[in-house]
Amino acid sequence: MADKSSSNAYWAANIRIILISLVIWFACSFGLGIILRPALKGIMIGGADLGFWFAQNGSIYVFIILIFTYAKMMGKVDAEHGVEE
C-alpha cells in the first residue's frame, strides 16, 4: 500500500475526477435527454430534436467518451502519485 499522505491526495484527485464525470453523465442523459427536452425542442440534430437524439443515441456516445477519458485521466493521476501497477 502507498503511504497514507500520498494516498489521501490521490484519493482526493480521484474523487474530483469522478464528480466531474458524474455531472457530465447526468447532464447528457437526465438533463438533455429528459428534463430539458421540452425546453430545447427548437434545436435539431438532423431530423430529430436535441432531446430525442440525446435520449436515443447521443447520451450513449457521451458515456463512451466519458469512460475512456476517466480511464486516461486516472492513469495519469496514478502515475503522478506513484500508485500505478
Partner 1 sequence: MDQFTLNLIVVGATFAIYIGIAIWARAGSTAEFYAAGQGVHPVLNGMATGADWMSAASFISMAGIIALAGAGGYQQSAFLMGWTGGYVLLALLLAPYLRKFGKFTVPEFIGDRFYSGGARLVAVICLIVISVTYVIGQMRGVGVTFSRFLEVSTDTGLYIGAAIVFAYAVLGGMKGITYTQVAQYIVLIIAYTIPAIFISLSLTGNFLPQLGLIGGYAPTGGDVTMLAKLDSLVTELGFTAYTADSSNMFNMFLFTMSLMIGTAGLPHVIIRFFTVPKVADARSSAGWALVFIALLYTVAPAVGAMARLNLTTTFWPGAVTGSALSAPAVSLADIESKPELSWINTWKATGLLNYEDKNGEGMIQYFNEPKAVAAANKALGEAKKALADAAADADKAALETAVTDATTARDAALAEAKLGDKTLAEMGLVGNELTKVDNDIMVLANPEIAALPGWVIALVAAGGLAAALSTAAGLLLAISSAVSHDLIKGSINPNISEKGELLAARVSMGVAIAVATWLGLNPPGFAAQVVALAFGLAAATIFPALMMGIFSKRINKEGAILGMIAGLVFTAVYIFMYLGWFFVPGTATYANTPDNYFFGISPLSIGAIGALVNFIVAYVVSMATKAPPQEVVDLVESIRVPKGAGKAQAH
Q: Which residues here bind partner 1, judged by CB under 8 A?
A: 1-2, 4, 7, 10-11, 14, 18, 21-22, 25, 29-30, 33-35, 37-38, 45-49, 52-53, 55-57, 59-61, 63-64, 66-68, 70-71, 74-75, 78, 82-85
H or E stretch at 45: strand 44-45
Residue 21: is it exposed, middle or buried by C-beta count within 10 angstroms (0-12/13-18/19+)?
middle
Distance (Å, rounded) from C-alpha 70 to C-alpha 77? 10
Min. distance of Cβ 42 from partner 1 in angstroms? 14
Min. distance of Cβ 50 from partner 1 in angstroms? 11
